Amino acid sequence: MSHIELVDVSVHFESKGSTSVAVDQVSLNIEKGEIYGIVGLSGAGKSTLVRTINLLQEPSDGQVRIDGEELTSLSKESLRKKRQNIGMIFQHFNLIASKTIAQNLEFALKASRYPKKKRKERVEELLEIVGLSDKANAYPQKLSGGQKQRVGIARALANQPEILLCDEATSALDVETTEEILNILKHINQQYGITILFITHEMDVAKKLFHRMAVMEKGQVVEEGPTFDLFANPQVEMTKKLVSRALSLDIPGKLMENLEEGELVNIHYQGSGAYSPIISTLSKKLDVHFSIIHGKVDYIDGRALGVLLVHITGKAEEIEKSIHLLADDVFQIERVSQDRTVTEVTEYECR
């Protein structure tokens, strides 16, 4: 049994007589203790989908189950209890402006009728987890975005939930602060085994945080799988688009014009292949020259994914040979045509 199960969940919005479909028959299984991401462009229905999990958004159709328990059929009171087990953080933090940081956290404890005498202690504990012990009596207005989100995380953790929902939780933060928040999330995922469901349009976040992910487009999940696989070998157009942008593999057109002879190939390598000296071995073995046009190694969910754009010069048959030898050693190799507008790709069978 999965921790969170969505079965054919749809959400329709009715306005002025017309119906729009925000989420269209989405089924997902999210396992206990994993960090699961949902990516997509804005308007893809990600936020609406995540909000069905704690019923901030009632699904028009389908089932939402947590530990096998159907949420839509719960009584108001049981739903309230259930929600205490599902923390949530938001893009705009959503802290109570008229309360201090400590009071904001205390509110969540009051919600679960946490024993009054122990509240102060628990608040201190929570502040410690997110490193804000010195801000207990400050008002949210006085905090930076990153600090506000840390308060948001502390509030979400107040009642020791098993699930943490993150709705674009880093989208309002700068790169450095995002990194900081991601590290806290990774830490609490490992430390407490909390299942995290994270919605974002930022592929950089996906790369660093998610174990598995789903890609949404027009309310539907169009692709799903381990994060590394989706980055290394995307299947559908939307995933390819998102991934290529994140890996930034665009080749400047000017550069293509200057490469007159030889072959331009795009090499993808991964895992242990990332560390073997493929190029230098080949250039010793064969009479070809390699010049590296563009290269990048990305670490996705802790695994290396390398992309190398190489220009090979030499005799035609030697070049052919080298390409075939390369194909044996790398994950994927593509021939890039000299025509800079059309990038023709020839795929080889790779090991």
Partner 1 sequence: MNVDRSLQVLERHLFQAIVDTAYMVGVSAAIALVIGVLLGLLMYLTGHPLLIKNRSLYGIVGFVINAVRSLPFIILMFALSPVAVAITGRQIGWQAATVSLSIAATAFFSRIAEAAFLDVDRGVIEASIATGASLPLILWEVVIPEALPALIRGISLTLISLIGFSAMAGAIGAGGIGDLAIQYGYNMYDDVVMLVTVVILIVIVQLLQLGGDLLAQATSKK
- CA distance to 60, 138, 211, 214, 224, per residue, from 67 (Å): 21, 38, 20, 20, 21
Give the strand pairing for 163-167 and 86-90: parallel
Q: Does 12 bind partner 1 (CB under 8 A)?
A: no
Among 112, 244, 332, 343, binds partner 1 (CB under 8 A): 112
Q: Which of 91/270 has CB closer to partner 1?
A: 91
Q: Which of residues 31-50 bind partner 1 (CB under 8 A)?
A: none
State the minimum distance, in angstroms, from the CB of residue 341 to partner 1: 45
Q: Could you tell me if 159 and 100 are in contact, meaning their C-beta atoms sit under 8 angstroms apart?
A: no
Q: Which of residues 50-109 bind partner 1 (CB under 8 A)?
A: 54, 56, 80-88, 90, 92, 94-99, 107-108
DSSP 275: G
Q: Could you tell me if 327 and 333 are in contact, meaning their C-beta atoms sit under 8 angstroms apart?
A: yes
State the minimum distance, in angstroms, from the CB of residue 226 to partner 1: 29
Q: Which of 88/206 has CB closer to partner 1?
A: 88
- Helix, strand, coil abundance in the chain, percent, nearest 5: 40, 30, 30
Q: Which of 86/293 has CB closer to partner 1?
A: 86
Ramachandran angles phi, psi of 341, nearest 5°:
-80, -40
Among 41, 74, 111, 249, binds partner 1 (CB under 8 A): 111
Ramachandran angles phi, psi of 131, nearest 5°:
65, 40
- CA distance to 79, 123, 184, 298, per residue, from 228 (Å): 35, 37, 21, 10
Q: How far apart are CA 156 and CA 164, in angstroms?
A: 7
Q: Which of 83/208 has CB closer to partner 1?
A: 83
DSSP 272: G
State the minimum distance, in angstroms, from the CB of residue 206 to partner 1: 23
State the minimum distance, in angstroms, from the CB of residue 56 to partner 1: 6
State the minimum distance, in angstroms, from the CB of residue 204 to partner 1: 24
**Residues binding partner 1: what is the number (CB under 8 A)?**
33
Close Cβ partners of 216 (under 8 Å, ≥ 6 residues apart): 26, 38, 39, 40, 44, 45, 46, 49, 222
- DSSP assignment of 97-140 equals TTS-HHHHHHHHHHHTT--HHHHHHHHHHHHHHTT-GGGTT--G
State the minimum distance, in angstroms, from the CB of residue 258 to partner 1: 52
Q: Which amino acid is at 137?
A: N
Q: Which of 141/258 has CB closer to partner 1?
A: 141
State the minimum distance, in angstroms, from the CB of residue 209 to partner 1: 21
State the minimum distance, in angstroms, from the CB of residue 84 to partner 1: 4
Q: Could you tell me if 59 and 10 are in contact, meaning their C-beta atoms sit under 8 angstroms apart?
A: yes
- Segment contacting partner 1 (CB under 8 A): 39-47, 138-146, 204-212, 231-239? 138-146
State the minimum distance, in angstroms, from the CB of residue 76 to partner 1: 9
Window 166-205: contact mask with partner 1 (x via CB under 8 A): ----------------------------------------
Q: Which of 184/238 has CB closer to partner 1?
A: 184
Binding site for partner 1 (CB under 8 A): 54, 56, 80-88, 90, 92, 94-99, 107-108, 110-112, 139-141, 152, 155-156, 158-159, 165
